[in-house]
Amino acid sequence: MSGNVADSAVSPTTPAQTIPADLSGQMLELDEDDDLEVFSKDTTNTDGGSFNASMQTSPGSMINQYKFDEEEEEEDPGAKDLFITVDNPESHITTIETFITYRVVTKTTRSEFDSSEYEVRRRYQDFLWLRGRLEEAHPTLIVHPLPEKFVMKGMVERFNDDFIETRRRALHHFLNRIAEHPILSCNEDLKVFLSAQAWELASHKKQGPGFLSRMGETVRAVAASVRGVKNRPEEFNSIQEYVESFSQKMTSLDRITQRIVKEEREYLEEMKEYAPTYTLWSGSEEELAEPLKGVANCLDRCFQETEGQVRQLSDCLAPTLHEYVLSTDTLKAVLRRRDNMQAELEAKNEALAAKRADRDALKEEIDKLEDRVEWANNALKGDWSRWQRSMRSDLKDAFVSTAQKNVDYYEKVRVTHLKPPQPHHTFDTRLVSITL
Amino acid sequence: MADAQREDAAETDTPNANDAQEKTSNSTMVEDSSTTLLKRMEITVAEAEKRTGKKAVNMQETYTVYLIETRPSSAVNEGQSVAPDALWRRYSEFELLRNYLLVTYPFIVVPPLPEKRAEFVWHKLSADNMDPDFVERRRVGLETFLLRVASHPVMSNDKIFYHFLMQERGWKEVVYDTGFQAKADSRLRALNATFRVKNPDKRFMEMKHYSDELQAITSQLLRARARVADRLYGVYKVHGNYGRVFSEWSAIEKEMGDGLQSAGHHMDAYAASIDDILEEEEHYADQIKEYLFFAEALRAVCRKHELSQYELETASLDLTSKKLQREELATGIVRTFSFKGMTTKLFGQETADQREARLKLLEEQIDEGEETVREKTAECEEHVHSGWEDMQRFKEQKDRDLREAFINYAYMQMSMCKKGIQMWSNAKECFSKM
């Protein structure tokens, strides 16, 4: 998949604006509202009010944002200017409910922020809201998934420590992926999410696109999906195929990992019964007491290390795999929305050809739609590239660290066994006493 | 490996052989020898074979026979390639031999046979007696049994044992001719009976208590180990699924493809490695199992002591009571209640003749009784002496064997860890190339 969108021909249809070509490091918004407002960026303006929830820039200026070559492995770490951490889960108990909040710490050099450091507390619902807003604002961009609301399988309850930690990690990962995204990281709702106090966030949440515009969007989407797209570009077909396959593989891997965790937990249960038999036995013996205690000791160590191994799988590998299972849902949705846009365009073109409606008005609509589709396609291609890179990096890290953890595990267990003296013979030990 | 062992054996001495000679008045001794049979002869259970034969009621049955090969040690040591003597025996014949030994040498902790049916199985191990793995492990167990008997200072000299090794046909008849079967039944009954012993040898009681503990703990250990093995098997095997999925996944990836594919192979290898690991562990389990069954044999020796002691006490009590009756008859003073005494009171005194007759009877009984007590005392003492000696020998053997077993178990675990390290290091390298 080529991430180089500079090759695509784009014709800006909006009036001239003073937006510079290179927009990295500057905060800009894109909104799918049809009224294309132009935003003029004045870097001296530090007033937070200069941001508007419905800002837009033309496709032409966005091209440069997607100048990724296939060789470019990672973004220049030096260019990163938004650092977010999610930690310190805390329980809050009210008369109505109990919930967990997480501390979100932001450090940034971006001028759009009033301050360079923020510390707020957010709950899961807030993250859900944020993601919803991001998806609404950028329906054809790939927004990283959030951990699920509930986990059905296993004995996980909402306030179980492991569950909270797993969720915290996923939330941290989510915000970091957003922060790395050149467009999403400039989103106004994100800024509010990161910087506003609890009451400010609550009031901000109440605003949002009107009911009618949301309705219009939904109706269009339904109509489009019924229509179906006729000429989907080949590259999106291959992405679609890939996503189908990938989704299956991730689901399998997730299931396999969960199964390993289950088996290891059962192994631990049995070890709990097994190791003490040696200690018990040593109480009845004299000469054999020492070697028996030695074996018991080794088995205990093995038990402890296995617990660590299980934690690695369930805290690190499984959640990562699960994230990518969820992200395939996002990918499918994004592809669908893109298809819908294209379907709408095709329908309008057909209507034009059939001379069924007012040509001029239709022509104008079609032009706008073409731009939108063009932009969406390019944006998606770019995001697809970035998604692939993230996926590769995330999964590689997860598997490498799992493998390393296993190596460490076997190392630690091996060392505890190193103490016993050399046996006289390796295998036919029964003959030792028989022949003496 | 085994041959090296046996050559070592030729050098070492058996300390107890001489003592056992003097004490045992067993008429089933083959010859005077200051070394055990194992020194003079190499014994192996070389093979196992399936046979079909007709049972008594004209039904077909399938059973396994084991090939016992014997070779004189001298020939082996001199490097001559001598054709071994060989014969086939089935498991039931081994059982017969062991029952004979149990009855004939009640003061010896007789080595156990490998289990009749597979117990402490975990899901992969077949509980089927015809399963080749089971048969193989049984072959090893039978060989161990023969070697243990052949190296015992007392049992190795037994004629019946020798014939078992050397003479295929007619052996069963010879065994039954010894009349051990009758003793076997009464022994079983006695071992299972409950009776109160007043003065058992404390050491034997402690040993019996120990044998109970040993039986309980090894049983628990084996059960727990089997369950752990089962779980560990599951963990390793599930990893095989990673191999399959990585392979499929690599087909849709470009840069990640190679790394995934090779990582998948390592996952497959990891999943497969558990089979060998657990097979090796079965040998360890068999060693523990042998001592689970040994515990029973040890207990039997202690019970035999209890029985001897009880019989002695009973005989003594009986003798004392008879002597008291005689005294009463002689002096006319009634100290104890007796039916005769009561009837005398009720129906009048007996005549002098009657009393004379009764006295004579009593004297005879007392003589018999004293003889019995003497016999029982000797029997008991001898059993205590020989039994204690053999229990000491057994204890030393057990400590040696089990110590080795635990050490080897630790080495097995270490080897398993080494394999794990290697595989996951390889996998990690492949993942890094993703």
One domain, residues B218 and B177: no
Probe site for chain A from B210, B228, B402, B430 (most A CB atoms < 10 A): B228
| Separation of alpha carbons B378 and B375, rounded Å | 5
Q: What is the pLDDT of residues A84-119, one digit of tens each?
A: 899 888 888 888 888 888 999 999 888 888 888 889
B410 and A298 within 8 Å at the Cβ level: the answer is yes
3-state secondary structure chain A: CCCEHHHCCCCCCCCCCCCCCCCCCCCCCCCCCCCCCCCCCCCCCCCHHHCCCCCCCCHHHHHHHHECCCCCCCCCHHHCCEEEEEEEEEEEECCCCEEEEEEEEEEECCCCCCCCEEEEEEEHHHHHHHHHHHHHHCCCCCCCCCCCCCCCCCCCCCCCHHHHHHHHHHHHHHHHHHHHCCCHHHCHHHHHHHHCCHHHHHHHHHCCCCHHHHHHHHHHHHHHHHHCCCCCCHHHHHHHHHHHHHHHHHHHHHHHHHHHHHHHHHHHHHHHHHHHHHHHHHCCCCCCHHHHHHHHHHHHHHHHHHHHHHHHHHHHHHHHHHHHHHHHHHHHHHHHHHHHHHHHHHHHHHHHHCCCCCHHHHHHHHHHHHHHHHHHHHHHHHHHHHHHHHHHHHHHHHHHHHHHHHHHHHHHHHHHHCCCCCCCCCCCCHHHHHHC
> How much is the mean pLDDT over chain A?
75
Probe site for chain A from B288, B412, B424 (most A CB atoms < 10 A): B424
* Residue B1 at interface with chain A, using a CB cutoff of 8 Å: yes
What pLDDT, on a 0 to 100 scale, did the predictor assign at position A417? 75
Residue A66: which pLDDT band, with cuts at 50, 70 and 90?
very low
Q: Is the pLDDT of residue A343 over 60?
A: yes
B431 and A399 within 8 Å at the Cβ level: the answer is yes
**Which residues 11-70 on chain B approach chain A with CB closer than 8 angstroms?**
12, 38
In terms of average pLDDT, the best of A413-422, B210-219, B352-361 is: B210-219
A413 and B413 within 8 Å at the Cβ level: the answer is yes
Helices A289-312 and B352-432, packing angle to 10 deg:
40
Which residue from A274, A295, A434 is facing B151, i.e. has the nearest CB? A434
What pLDDT, on a 0 to 100 scale, did the predictor assign at position A257? 93
- The phi, psi pair for A87, rounded to 5°, reads -155, -170
One domain, residues B133 and B168: yes
The minimum CA-CA distance between A235 and chain B, rounded to whole Å, is 15
Nearest residue in A to B111, CA atom? A434
Report chain B residues whose CB lies below 8 A from the CB of A425.
1, 5, 404
The minimum CA-CA distance between B6 and chain A, rounded to whole Å, is 7
Q: Is the pLDDT of residue A42 over 50?
A: no
One domain, residues B270 and B389: yes
What pLDDT, on a 0 to 100 scale, did the predictor assign at position A326? 92
B214 and A284 within 8 Å at the Cβ level: the answer is yes
The verdict on residue B237 lying in a domain is yes
* Residue B300 at interface with chain A, using a CB cutoff of 8 Å: no
- Amino acid (one-letter) located at B354: Q
One domain, residues B90 and B231: no
Which residue from B245, B406, B428 is facing A253, i.e. has the nearest CB? B245
Q: Between these two residues, A152 and B241, which has the higher pLDDT value?
A: B241
What pLDDT, on a 0 to 100 scale, did the predictor assign at position A400? 93
The verdict on residue B101 lying in a domain is yes
**3-class SS of residue B51:** strand
Across B43-58, average pLDDT? 74
What pLDDT, on a 0 to 100 scale, did the predictor assign at position A111? 81
B248 and A249 within 8 Å at the Cβ level: the answer is yes
Across B319-329, average pLDDT? 87
One domain, residues B222 and B329: yes
Which residue from A264, A298, A433 is facing B235, i.e. has the nearest CB? A264
Which residue from B1, B234, B399 is facing A428, i.e. has the nearest CB? B1
Q: What is the pLDDT of residues B238-247, one digit of tens each?
A: 999 999 999 9
Structural domain count of chain B:
2
One domain, residues B3 and B87: yes
Report chain B residues whose CB lies below 8 A from the CB of A392.
255-256, 434
| Separation of alpha carbons A313 and A166, rounded Å | 11
Report chain A residues whose CB lies below 8 A from the CB of B290.
430
> How much is the mean pLDDT over chain B?
83
A433 and B427 within 8 Å at the Cβ level: the answer is no
The verdict on residue B199 lying in a domain is no
B414 and A414 within 8 Å at the Cβ level: the answer is yes
| Separation of alpha carbons A370 and A356, rounded Å | 20
The verdict on residue B36 lying in a domain is yes
Which of B193, B226, B241 is the endpoint of a domain?
B193
Across A256-284, average pLDDT? 94
The verdict on residue B198 lying in a domain is no
Q: Is the pLDDT of residue A434 over 50?
A: no
Strand partners, A83: A107
Residue A415: which pLDDT band, with cuts at 50, 70 and 90?
confident
Which residue from A246, A400, A420 is facing B428, i.e. has the nearest CB? A400
Which residue from A260, A278, A403 is facing B427, i.e. has the nearest CB? A403
Residues 6+ apart with CB under 8 A from B211: B295, B296, B298, B299, B302
Residue A205: which pLDDT band, with cuts at 50, 70 and 90?
confident
Q: Is the pLDDT of residue B394 over 60?
A: yes
One domain, residues B149 and B250: no
DSSP string, B106-146: TTS-PPPPPPSS--S--TTS---TT-HHHHHHHHHHHHHHH
One domain, residues B218 and B156: no
B279: containing domain: 205-434
Q: What is the pLDDT of residues A317-326, one digit of tens each?
A: 998 999 999 9
The verdict on residue B93 lying in a domain is yes
What pLDDT, on a 0 to 100 scale, did the predictor assign at position A152? 56
Which of B170, B193, B216 is the endpoint of a domain?
B193
Q: What is the pLDDT of residues A182-193, one digit of tens each?
A: 888 888 889 889
One domain, residues B238 and B98: no
A417 and B417 within 8 Å at the Cβ level: the answer is yes
Q: Between these two residues, A386 and B18, which has the higher pLDDT value?
A: A386
* Residue B242 at interface with chain A, using a CB cutoff of 8 Å: yes
Residue B203: which pLDDT band, with cuts at 50, 70 and 90?
very high
What pLDDT, on a 0 to 100 scale, did the predictor assign at position B169? 85
User: Is this complex scored with an ipTM above 0.90?
Assistant: no
Residue B196: which pLDDT band, with cuts at 50, 70 and 90?
confident
Nearest residue in A to B229, CA atom? A267
Q: Which helix (H) or strand (E) holds B216?
A: helix B202-250
* Residue B144 at interface with chain A, using a CB cutoff of 8 Å: yes
What pLDDT, on a 0 to 100 scale, did the predictor assign at position B340? 63
What pLDDT, on a 0 to 100 scale, did the predictor assign at position B328? 81
Q: Between these two residues, B117 and B321, which has the higher pLDDT value?
A: B321
One domain, residues B29 and B113: yes
B5 and A288 within 8 Å at the Cβ level: the answer is no
In terms of average pLDDT, the best of A32-36, A126-130, B10-14, B336-340 is: A126-130
Residue B265: which pLDDT band, with cuts at 50, 70 and 90?
very high
CATH code: domain of residue B181: 3.30.1520.10
Report chain B residues whose CB lies below 8 A from the CB of A395.
256, 434
* Residue B380 at interface with chain A, using a CB cutoff of 8 Å: no
How many inter-chain contacts (A to B, CB under 8 Å) are there? 197
Report chain B residues whose CB lies below 8 A from the CB of A400.
428, 431-432
Which residue from B221, B407, B427 is facing A423, i.e. has the nearest CB? B407
Residue A26: which pLDDT band, with cuts at 50, 70 and 90?
very low
Q: Taking Cα atoms as reference points, which of B297, B282, B288 lies closest to residue B152?
A: B297
The verdict on residue B125 lying in a domain is yes
CATH code: domain of residue B213: 1.20.1270.60
* Residue B397 at interface with chain A, using a CB cutoff of 8 Å: yes
Which of B134, B164, B193 is the endpoint of a domain?
B193
* Residue B213 at interface with chain A, using a CB cutoff of 8 Å: yes
The verdict on residue B308 lying in a domain is yes
**3-class SS of residue B55:** coil
One domain, residues B242 and B151: no
- Amino acid (one-letter) located at B215: Q
CB A235 within 8 A of CB A1: yes
Nearest residue in A to B211, CA atom? A284
Residue B27: which pLDDT band, with cuts at 50, 70 and 90?
very low
B417 and A260 within 8 Å at the Cβ level: the answer is no
One domain, residues B174 and B261: no
